[in-house]
Amino acid sequence: MDRQVLLFIWVLSLSAVLGQISYSVPEEMAEGSVVGNIAQDLGLDVQRLTSRKARVYSGDSKEYVELNKGRGFLLVRETIDREALCGQTTPCALHLQIILDDPIEFYSVTVEITDVNDNPPAFEKSQIKFRISESAVVGSKFDLESAIDLDVGINGLQSYLLKPTDNFALKLHNQIDGSTSVEMILQKPLDREQNEHISLVLTAVDGGDPQMTGTMQIMITVLDANDNAPVFTQPVYKAAVAENSPPGTVVTTVSAADADQGPHGRIQYSIRNTLGDVRNIFEINGESGELRLVGNVDFEKARNYQVNLRASDDGGLTDSCKVIVDVIDVNDNKPVINIMSKSSVISEDIKTDTVVTIINVQDPDAGENGKVQCVINENIPFLLKSTSNSFYSLVTDSDLDRERASEYNISITCCDEGVPSLSSSVTLTLHISDVNDNAPVFERSSYEAYIVENNTPGLSIFTVKATDADWNQNARVSYILEDSSVNGVPVSSYVSVSADSGVIHAVRSFDYEHIKDFHFCVKAQDGGSPPLSSNVTVKITIQDQNDNAPQVLYPVQTSSSVVAEMVPRSADVGYLVTKVVAVDVDSGQNAWLTYKLQKATDRALFEVGLQNGEIRTIRQVTDKDAVKQRLTVVVEDNGQPSRSATVNVNVAVADSFPEVLSEFTDFTHDKEYNDNLTFYLVLALAVVSFLFITCLVVIISVKIYRWRQSRILYHSSLPVIPYYPPRYSDTLGTGTLQHVYNYEVCRTTDSRKSDCKFGRAGSQNVLIMDPSCTGTMQRIQNEKNILDEPDSPVEVRNLRLCITPIFPFFGPLLASLLQC
């Protein structure tokens, strides 16, 4: 339609130009297509055309157009290809002549062949390939082939398009010949690691309608460059390894990646540290990245390690990372006990809660492995106190007693809380020093010992013993005799105590008859400061020995006096002539007396009571019996061996005193005769001088005697026995025995006999003469003091005894006076 309009307009314009007709037809019209109505355009009748033999002349060129005379049209005879006809020449036209006859007329006809977009742009190759290094710089240019479009004008090649445009841009250069060259410029660096193969499509576009395109594929292979460093998967690795792990233990494995290819991506691991001994402890497998131990890790030396690792590729690019290796504690250290200060000897009187020892405990392990608990053995009076962190003090927990335990082995055991737990222990030996806190103790609460009288002075009697639980000097016991007195005499004059041994010695010979027992105290004292002591009472009992012979009290035996018992001739059988009174100061069996008749003038006349000493007649006295009878009685005690005494008893068998006197003068005549002459002189003086005093004494005595006459005498008192012990000194130096000790007064009684008769016997016709009587008033006084019955007849007799020396010859006379 458009073409027709265009044609119309163009024809109109041609009509002005005579003889010149132009037509324009597009190329490629089908055969028979109308090019133009030439008849009309020429203003000719169709019939005329035929008639005028109208014809088309196209020279030597191919006849693309023919004339249809019937219709008057120019028709396409053969399809016209503009590109073949004209190539790139424009405009492209066919020049024809229409020739008419009759008249010959000549018309030029130009048929312009207009282009039709019947050719797409075309590339020579459908694909081109590039190999570009990824390191190619931005701006690098790459020549591309141009495309060719046979069409011309608007239908020719117009532009190029490149897709995608991520990395490259197109740049077109117009050539002088009007063609265009195409370049591809790198706009964004390539990255093989991202995109190794890039496929681009270059499209050439013409301007026809419809538009036609031609494409070419650009295949780009990106070549690797070492543009990527190795990269560790983590910048910091954490690992843990137990201490004391054997060499070869894999600690951890690190890994690095390199995006590059080939050698550029081949990674080697290495340790980068130069610090410390890391290299001596760790090694890394360069290929696998395994970090292993080669040395020993000790938690106590280093709790962690930082291993710096490097990964490098063959291109020399590197990365680094850290491996923090924590060393895990293993309970491999025993607690270490240090004794900071200690006392190895403490006093037993130390106060409770006194610090004895301070210890310090260290365990280099960590956590539970280093937590230490300390204990001490049980059942000892000590306590372990935790004072501050890792310090302990050992204190006394209760009172100590060296006597119970003088030494303690205190073992301190410290355990950590690791699993398994490790422990160590230390033993302290603590000596307890003695304090004098124990007094000596006697083995017995009291002692009693026996000693037989008449011992040798210095005899050891027995031993007291005290023990002291303390030690050494504090237990050294000395024995001391406590001062006291026995019967007014210091006890040290009786006994002494050996200070060291406790042996008690008799200082003197004891006499049972003087002292039967006595008490004293012995003190045991230790050597402590101050000393402690204790006492014990010792009782010493003296045992009797038969050391005293019986003593005949009556009848009194003197060498100078004659005592005679009178027996009337009328006496019956059993007449009690007299009684032999004897005593024995010993006691017991030793004082058990028996009386026997040893000799007698007439054995048939008298007998002696075995037990009582009574002399009795055993038959009727006859006139034939001699006046003077002499009996010898032996008194024996029952001791072992027995001791005895004899007494002569003179018996006068007579009815009157003169008869007796005449008979008995010869009793003493033999002995007294030599003294007679001198004695008569003395006697005369004595009579004058003492008559008065004598009479006075006698009268008083008689009075007392008579007053007591009726009383029955049960006991007889015995005379004083003076005793003069030898002089002894304290052989042990402990006492004060530097005196001479006189006697003790001892009285024994002998009451087993019927002594009641003694008084009577003494009161009978007795003549006493005793020149040996040397007693004094003092002595009488002593006697009085010890007599139970000071007014007994014995006293009277003693008075008589004292008188007799003064009047040895008048004794019998005075005696008879007394009887009056």
Ligand X SMILES: *[C@@H]1O[C@H](CO)[C@@H](O)[C@H](O)[C@H]1NC(C)=O
Report the interface residues with ligand X, using CB under 6 A. 407, 409, 429, 482, 521, 523, 533-535
* Structure tokens, 269: 């691991």
CB of 463 to ligand X, least distance (A): 19
CB of 352 to ligand X, least distance (A): 20
CB of 546 to ligand X, least distance (A): 36
Adjacency order of strands within the sheet including 250-253: 250-253, 290-293, 282-284
CB of 405 to ligand X, least distance (A): 7
CB of 409 to ligand X, least distance (A): 4
C-alpha to C-alpha distance for 485 and 700, rounded to whole angstroms: 40
Cβ closer to ligand X: 378 or 623?
378
Cβ closer to ligand X: 302 or 521?
521
DSSP string, 79-119: ---HHHHHTT-SSEEEEEEEEETTTTEEEEEEEEEE-----
Cβ closer to ligand X: 430 or 621?
430
b/e 500-523 (16+ beta carbons within 10 angstroms → b):
eebbbbbbbbbbbbbbbbbebebb
CB of 406 to ligand X, least distance (A): 8
For residues 112 and 145, the answer to whether their CB atoms sit within 8 Å is no
φ/ψ of residue 518, rounded to 5: -160, 160
Cβ closer to ligand X: 478 or 629?
478
List Cβ neighbours of 675 (8 Å cut-off, separation of 6 or more).
none
List Cβ neighbours of 334 (8 Å cut-off, separation of 6 or more).
363, 416, 422, 423, 424
CB of 407 to ligand X, least distance (A): 5
Cβ closer to ligand X: 429 or 709?
429
Reduced DSSP (H G I as helix, E B as strand, rest coil) percent helix, strand, coil of the chain, to 5: 20, 35, 45
* Structure tokens, 106: 């000549």
CB of 557 to ligand X, least distance (A): 49
Q: Sort 801 into a burial class: Cβ within 10 Å, 0-12 / 13-18 / 19+.
A: buried
Cβ closer to ligand X: 526 or 744?
526
Distances (CA, A) of 238 to 245, 291, 556: 17, 12, 136
The DSSP letter of residue 611 is T
Q: Sort 571 into a burial class: Cβ within 10 Å, 0-12 / 13-18 / 19+.
A: middle
For residues 463 and 375, the answer to whether their CB atoms sit within 8 Å is no
C-alpha to C-alpha distance for 594 and 13, rounded to whole angstroms: 221
Distances (CA, A) of 244 to 299, 307, 328, 336, 552: 8, 18, 9, 20, 116
CB of 692 to ligand X, least distance (A): 57
Cβ closer to ligand X: 132 or 464?
464
Cβ closer to ligand X: 342 or 596?
342
Cβ closer to ligand X: 231 or 350?
350
| Type and span of the H or E element at 815 | helix 811-819
Cβ closer to ligand X: 101 or 407?
407
The DSSP letter of residue 799 is H
Length of the chain as a residue count: 820
CB of 491 to ligand X, least distance (A): 12
For residues 561 and 811, the answer to whether their CB atoms sit within 8 Å is yes
CB of 429 to ligand X, least distance (A): 6
Cβ closer to ligand X: 439 or 631?
439
Count CB neighbours of 157 within 10 A.
25
CB of 533 to ligand X, least distance (A): 5
Cβ closer to ligand X: 156 or 531?
531
Q: Establish whether the linkage from the previous residue to 530 is cis, with ω within 30° of 0.
A: yes
CB of 385 to ligand X, least distance (A): 22
SS3 at position 567: strand
Number of H helices, E strands in the chain: 12, 53
CB of 592 to ligand X, least distance (A): 39
Cβ closer to ligand X: 92 or 432?
432
Query: What type of residue is 657?
Result: F
For residues 465 and 443, the answer to whether their CB atoms sit within 8 Å is yes
CB of 482 to ligand X, least distance (A): 6
CB of 730 to ligand X, least distance (A): 20
Cβ closer to ligand X: 405 or 693?
405
C-alpha to C-alpha distance for 159 and 172, rounded to whole angstroms: 9
CB of 615 to ligand X, least distance (A): 55
CB of 416 to ligand X, least distance (A): 26
* Structure tokens, 595: 């009386």
Cβ closer to ligand X: 52 or 523?
523
Count CB neighbours of 81 within 10 A.
17
SS3 at position 378: coil
Cβ closer to ligand X: 440 or 613?
440
Cβ closer to ligand X: 535 or 749?
535
Cβ closer to ligand X: 393 or 533?
533
Radius of gyration of the chain, Cα coordinates, nearest whole angstrom: 87
* Structure tokens, 467: 């023990």
> Which own/partner contact pairs does 338-344 have at CB distance under 8 Å and 24+ positions apart?
338/362, 339/426, 339/428, 340/391, 342/428, 343/430, 344/428, 344/429, 344/430, 344/431
For residues 413 and 423, the answer to whether their CB atoms sit within 8 Å is yes
